[in-house]
Amino acid sequence: MTSIERQSAPKRIGRRDPAFLTLEWQDGVVSTIPASAIRKACPCAHCVDERTGRPILDPATVMDGLEQREVHLVGHYALGITFADGHRTGIFSWTLLRSVANRVSEGA
Ligand SMILES: [Zn+2]
């Protein structure tokens, strides 16, 4: 194992609104992330070229307000999410979700 800093699991996972995922992190920060932003950051082999790391998914094809249908824990390190567009192969690590959350909160 390398010494990559890893985001620890959130204290609480909320999804009262299916278009958003709410994560309360151990440091007290609460992130409300649009499901569409998570979908655009999907790291699976259908969305990112495994060899080059280049994006395959065109973010313009992800509609705003996209909902998540099902969310489940993958081990202790990630969430598996099924989106309303049928996409369900993405595994979203806490580290990835935290970076998406930071990007969203910066308005980028
Ligand atoms: Zn994907």
Q: Where are the domains of the chain?
A: 12-105
Tell me, what's the pLDDT at 105? Answer: 85
> Considering the chain, what is the average pLDDT of its residues?
93
Q: Is 25 helix (H, G, I), strand (E, B) or coil?
A: coil
pLDDT at position 92 over 60: yes
- The stretch 43-60 carries a mean pLDDT of 96
CATH of domain 12-105: 3.30.2020.30
> pLDDT value at position 11?
96
Determine the pLDDT at residue 108.
56
Place of tokens 């598996």: 80
Centre of ligand 1 from the C-alpha of residue 59, in Å: 11
Q: How far is the CA of 3 from the centre of ligand 1 (A)?
A: 26
Please state the rounded mean pLDDT for residues 30-49. Answer: 97
Report CA(43)–ligand 1 centroid distance (Å): 6
Average the pLDDT over 1-22 and give the result.
83
The DSSP element (H or E) to which 78 belongs, if any, is strand 78-83
- Among residues 106, 33, 100, 102, which one has the least CA distance to residue 71? 33
pLDDT of residue 5: 60
